[in-house]
Structure 1
Amino acid sequence: MQIEVRTGDILAFEGDAIILPTLSDGSMQEGIAAAVREIVGGEVEEQVRAHAPIAVGAAFVTEAPGLGVRHLIHVPLIEESGMRVGIENIRRATRAGLLGATRLGLDSVAIPGIGYGETGVPHDEAARAIVDEAMAYRGPHPTSVVLVDQDERMVAAFDLQTQEVKR
């Protein structure tokens, strides 16, 4: 699997899918999910919520109208807003997103920095968990993973982790 790191808005990514962190109840009210909801509309959120609760470590796939990708792979990080995000949840969400891409035969997916911030873990630990899961994944798809974030510290952490894996 090819892994690339980019600085930028994940919503500008053009490919097969974006792995989108959400809550187990399927709500798209916070972070990147809220920005996605503004573009794709409330119907996508309604689809996800209709299948809730979605376990941490599971994924639910929807279409992505209005974005440069065909699909959104919704991966819950926590059960409810305000809960602390742990490393294992980041790993499980990343793995679930990659499995979702395999199930649909998707080649190119984008993953944002997930699980870092006020209720999360340090940038370097989040990046390590995401990169480790991507590098360890052995499914036939995706063939390309793009790690995208606007946060300079997260991008630097992604760069560092991908370089360490190559050594």
Structure 2
Amino acid sequence: MNFDVVRGDIAAQRADALVNAANTGLAMGSGVAGALRRGAGAGIDDEAVSKGPVDLGGVAVTDAYDLDAEWVIHAAAMPRGGSATAESIRDATANSLERADELGCTSLVLPALGCGIAGFDLREGARIIGEVIAEYEPASLTDVRLIGYDGDEVATIREATREN
């Protein structure tokens, strides 16, 4: 499986599935969720909320609507109104990879789950995500990209994932 760190807006990425950094209630507010909601257009937030709540670390899948993807995997790395933990980031990442494989995806783009609004340290969160990806044995996934929004974020993610 090819793994890369890329820079950009997750809502502008092309892949079979895009991962949303969600809370357990699955309502799409700001940050990654807001970018995906704006890119997808009407319907995605209602569909996501209808599939929640999910357990911490759990995932739910919706259509990608107007995004250049088939699905959005909503990964709950944080509780509603709370903060992410190493365990919730690890579980949300692993469950996202597994769900993408179950859907038959070959490509997946995910953000640094739990490292934005959820308050977890970016370097440590990226290290955990990279570790989960490195240990994962895919069924169909061949292209996994971890995305950062700006140059500093991408540099931190690249450095942290090289430690795996």
| DSSP 3-state at the match of 1:62 | strand
Corresponding residue for residue 156 of structure 1: 155
8 Å contact kept, 2:114–2:120: yes
- In the TM superposition, residue 78 of structure 1 has moved relative to its aligned partner by 1.7
Where do 5+ consecutive residues of structure 2 fail to align? none
Corresponding residue for residue 114 of structure 1: 113
- In the TM superposition, residue 51 of structure 1 has moved relative to its aligned partner by 2.0
| DSSP 3-state at the match of 1:69 | coil
8 Å contact kept, 2:148–2:157: no
Corresponding residue for residue 142 of structure 1: 141
Corresponding residue for residue 12 of structure 1: 12
Corresponding residue for residue 64 of structure 1: 64
Corresponding residue for residue 79 of structure 1: 79
- In the TM superposition, residue 30 of structure 1 has moved relative to its aligned partner by 2.1
| DSSP 3-state at the match of 1:15 | coil
Corresponding residue for residue 104 of structure 2: 105
Among all aligned residue pairs of Structure 1 and Structure 2, give the percentage whose two residues are the same amino acid: 30
8 Å contact kept, 1:19–1:110: yes
Structure-2 separation of matches of 1:123 and 1:35: 19
8 Å contact kept, 2:58–2:92: yes
Q: TM-score, normalised by structure 2?
A: 0.92
Greater shift in the superposed pair: 117-126 or 44-53: 117-126
Q: Please tell me the residue identity of whatever aligns with 2:72.
A: L
Structure-2 separation of matches of 1:117 and 1:111: 13
Q: How many residues align?
A: 164
Q: TM-score, normalised by structure 1?
A: 0.90
Where do 5+ consecutive residues of structure 1 fail to align? none
User: Aligned pair in 2 of structure 1 residues 24, 57: CA closer, same or farther (>3 Å)?
Assistant: same
1:15-30 map, 5 Å: 15-30=15-30
- In the TM superposition, residue 134 of structure 1 has moved relative to its aligned partner by 0.6
8 Å contact kept, 2:31–2:117: no
Q: Deviations over 1:117-148 (max 9, x none)?
A: 46422221011011011111113131110111
Structure 1 outlier segments of 4+, above 3 Å: none
8 Å contact kept, 2:22–2:76: yes
8 Å contact kept, 1:113–1:154: no
